């Protein structure tokens, strides 16, 4: 747990974040991202200390229909624990059946998405649209809590738009319904991923509820995480875009929490080794063709900020074999410098490979 003392400095006591019997000594988790949070990506984050990772958001309705592509999102391994599953839906029966399908034993946390801003989700009354129906959201949370044998959390936004910021009210309803934690993204649905996250809204939720509050938004470095914790008093953070091409962010966050000097940023040889390992896992998971196609976007994220690497990125989106991708990784200039911890969002717009699929467009937090 964390809070603020009179000086505004972070205060940490005992287990940093507890969700029933699940204790995270470093209160940071990998958030679900559409078209990104597959098993290889999660395993790479765990290699650098990520204590809890979420699979891609799953439609409860699609899960109930036995959609094969959706079922692939549930695939995991013994090294991929503890694991969170985020469900999308508004129909009680769909969510009830989805819980039965993902339990028992396949995950350690169930999260209900009430935050996704994508139009093809909200027009169905799902995702962030649930912020406009607090009573329904409360009923859905209570249903999940009663049905699930693992901790239940809920992801929300600050509100639907600037005229209806209701995260504090929603957070209280979620807590009253029995949820184990609430994750707050400090932007409204209308903001999407533009502008800046409102830390004041997150703090208002923290002040209103007794359950853990997990903060999300603009967390691209350990310094940003430290600021979030100090200014909101939140109990933990969910890292999304800040982990793209940057799995060592979890080592840096751990150093902040443990009051140690931040570890040095990786050199070019370590970066190459990490990229090659990620590529290997992607090929093992998706096959040679789809594995390479899926890794293309990660090549761009990993190399953002590297000197003289720009000329290689157009080649990366055209390679088709593992050997071609490994050769491209070997071409990364030895004089390059890995981007500093404060470097901003790596921007890329590449859809997932055909056959991998996603509920929403690739690369955005759910």
137 membership: H or E segment, kind and range: helix 134-147
321: its two tokens: 């074999």
3-state helix, strand, coil in the chain (%, to 5): 40, 15, 45
Per-residue CA distances from 88 to 57, 102, 119, 140 (Å): 7, 13, 14, 11
91 CB-contact burial (10 Å; exposed 0-12 / middle 13-18 / buried 19+): middle
Question: Are 16 and 2 in contact, with CB atoms under 8 Å apart?
Answer: yes
Q: Count how many residues are written for the chain.
A: 366
68: its two tokens: 């094969």
- What number of helices (H) and strands (E) belong to the chain? 14, 13
Per-residue CA distances from 123 to 11, 127, 206 (Å): 42, 9, 29
Question: Are 300 and 350 in contact, with CB atoms under 8 Å apart?
Answer: yes
342: its two tokens: 């404060």
Q: Is 107 a catalytic residue?
A: no
Alpha helices in 263-321 (DSSP H): 268-286, 288-303, 313-316
Catalytic residue among 64, 116, 234, 366: 116
288 CB-contact burial (10 Å; exposed 0-12 / middle 13-18 / buried 19+): middle
Nearest C-alpha neighbor of 363 from the set 284, 304, 288: 304
Residue 294, C-beta contacts closer than 8 angstroms, at least 6 positions apart:
38, 282, 286, 352, 353, 356
Distance CA 12, CA 69 (A): 41
Widest pairwise Cα distance in the chain: 57
Question: Which residues are marked as active site?
Answer: 116
């Amino acid at each position: 747990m964390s809070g603020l003392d009179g000086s505004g400095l972070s205060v940490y006591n005992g287990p940093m974040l507890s969700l029933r019997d699940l204790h995270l000594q470093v209160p940071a988790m990998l958030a679900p991202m559409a078209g990104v949070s597959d098993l290889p990506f999660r395993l790479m984050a765990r290699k650098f200390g990520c204590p809890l990772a979420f699979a891609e958001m799953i439609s409860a309705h699609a899960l109930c229909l036995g959609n094969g592509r959706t079922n692939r999102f549930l695939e995991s391994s013994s090294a991929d624990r503890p694991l969170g599953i985020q469900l999308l839906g508004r129909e009680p029966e769909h969510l009830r059946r989805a819980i039965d399908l993902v339990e028992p034993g396949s995950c350690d946390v169930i999260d209900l998405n009430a935050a996704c801003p994508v139009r093809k989700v909200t027009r169905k009354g799902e995702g962030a649209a649930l912020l406009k129906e607090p009573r329904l959201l409360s009923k859905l949370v209570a249903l999940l809590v009663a049905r699930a044998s693992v901790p239940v959390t809920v992801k929300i936004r600050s509100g639907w738009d600037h005229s209806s910021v209701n995260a504090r009210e929603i957070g209280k309803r979620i807590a009253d319904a029995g949820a184990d934690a609430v994750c707050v993204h400090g932007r409204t649905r209308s903001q999407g991923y533009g502008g800046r996250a409102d830390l004041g809204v997150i703090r208002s939720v923290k002040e209103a509820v007794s359950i853990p509050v997990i903060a999300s938004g603009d967390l691209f470095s350990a310094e940003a995480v430290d600021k979030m914790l100090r200014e909101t008093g939140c109990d933990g953070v969910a890292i999304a875009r800040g982990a793209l091409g940057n799995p060592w962010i979890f080592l840096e966050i751990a150093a902040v929490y443990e009051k140690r000097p931040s570890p040095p940023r990786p050199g070019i040889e370590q970066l190459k080794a990490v990229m090659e390992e990620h590529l290997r896992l992607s090929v093992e998971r998706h096959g040679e063709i789809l594995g390479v196609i899926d890794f293309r976007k990660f090549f761009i994220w990993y190399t953002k900020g590297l000197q003289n690497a720009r000329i290689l990125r157009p080649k990366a989106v055209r390679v088709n074999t593992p050997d071609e991708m490994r050769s491209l990784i070997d071409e990364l200039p030895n004089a390059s410098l890995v981007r500093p911890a404060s470097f901003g969002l790596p921007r890329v717009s590449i859809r997932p490979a055909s056959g991998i699929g996603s509920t929403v467009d690739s690369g955005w937090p759910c």
